[in-house]
Amino acid sequence: MAYLSQATTPQAMQQGRLWLTSLLPYTGQYQRTLGLLDTRIEEAFTHGDTATAVESLVIKGVMSAAGQRNSVRSNAALDRVLVFRDRTDVPNLRQALAYLAALSNRSALAFELLSTHDRFNPPIVLSIAGQCDQAASMFETVKEIHGAPAFLQLFSFYHLAECRFDEGNLISAEPYAEAALQIYNPLDFFARGVYYPKTLFLLGKVSEAKGDAEAAMQYYQQLLDLWKNADDDLPDLLEAKRRFAQLKETTAR
């Protein structure tokens, strides 16, 4: 937090919070991240900057759902922001709300919020809802996916990989996850900070399910190294530690 203590203007303080909010999820420090977002949200509402508050609420919800796996918190953020769903000063707000609704286990609301002109978000929502074949079919028809913003590419590949893994289709899950791991855009605000560690964890589980203990342990170790200062109650962290320890014990026999 040294950067924030040295900030001398409100603009510098805001920029510092944005930078930290993007960086801290890489290291699994979601409690600090959400605290910064809460400050940003309340300050924005206080100063009448509803667009910034709404955008930050969506980000908070996504981080709560994807990073902390806390559906109670993500649904609270979603409910608070839904009243602003028709605002036009927040770009792609309904698509963002659809994504958050899907992550918060509210698939019907997610599909209701999607636009008929939206090319990229429907397959993402379908993947989260477990409709892998339909999602994959839409990916095949939307050949422009590589022209989509980097964060939408990341969401697309990650969630289809997770969907395929959950249904046991490891051959399909692995290349999607590997594609997600390669996507990087320094202008993205938070997507890679949340999903790079999640993709390492997913690739570890895919490798473990394939019987490749060495590769699985390498992915889990990368995550554990990255998250050495993470919140100690993160479900993905606890599961990665458990899986790594079990594999280490098994391979030592």
pLDDT at 148 over 80: no
CATH topology for 119-253 is 1.25.40
Question: Which of 239, 162, 235 lies closest to 203, judged by CA?
Answer: 162
Instruction: Read off the tokens for 212.
Output: 């490749």
CATH topology match: 9-117 vs 119-253? yes
- Compute the C-alpha angle 96/100/103, nearest 5°: 140
Give me the pLDDT at residue 162, please: 98
Give me the pLDDT at residue 7, please: 46
| Overall average pLDDT of the 221-233 stretch | 97
Question: Which of 27, 24, 159 lies closest to 98, judged by CA?
Answer: 159
Give me the pLDDT at residue 11, please: 58
CA distance readout (Å), 246 to 80, 208, 232, 235: 41, 11, 19, 17
Q: Given pLDDT bands bounded at 50, 70 and 90, which one contains residue 252? A: confident
Give me the pLDDT at residue 111, please: 94
Question: Which of 106, 70, 14 lies closest to 235, judged by CA?
Answer: 70
Torsion of CA 86, 89, 95, 96, to 10 degrees: -110
Cα 227 from Cα 221, distance rounded (Å): 10
Domain boundaries defined on the chain: 9-117, 119-253
Residues 60-98 pLDDT 10s: 999 999 999 999 999 999 999 999 999 988 888 999 999
Higher pLDDT, 241 or 140: 241
Cα 157 from Cα 203, distance rounded (Å): 12
Long-range contacts of 176-185 (CB under 8 A, 24+ apart): 177/202, 177/203, 177/206, 178/203, 180/154, 183/150, 183/153, 183/154, 183/157, 184/150, 185/149, 185/150, 185/151
CATH topology for 9-117 is 1.25.40
| Overall average pLDDT of the 245-250 stretch | 94
pTM higher than the cut 0.75: yes
Question: Which of 100, 124, 98 lies closest to 111, judged by CA?
Answer: 98
Tokens 């600090």 map to which residue? Answer: 32
Cα 19 from Cα 190, distance rounded (Å): 9
pLDDT at 217 over 80: yes
Residues 2-24 pLDDT 10s: 444 444 555 555 666 677 788 89
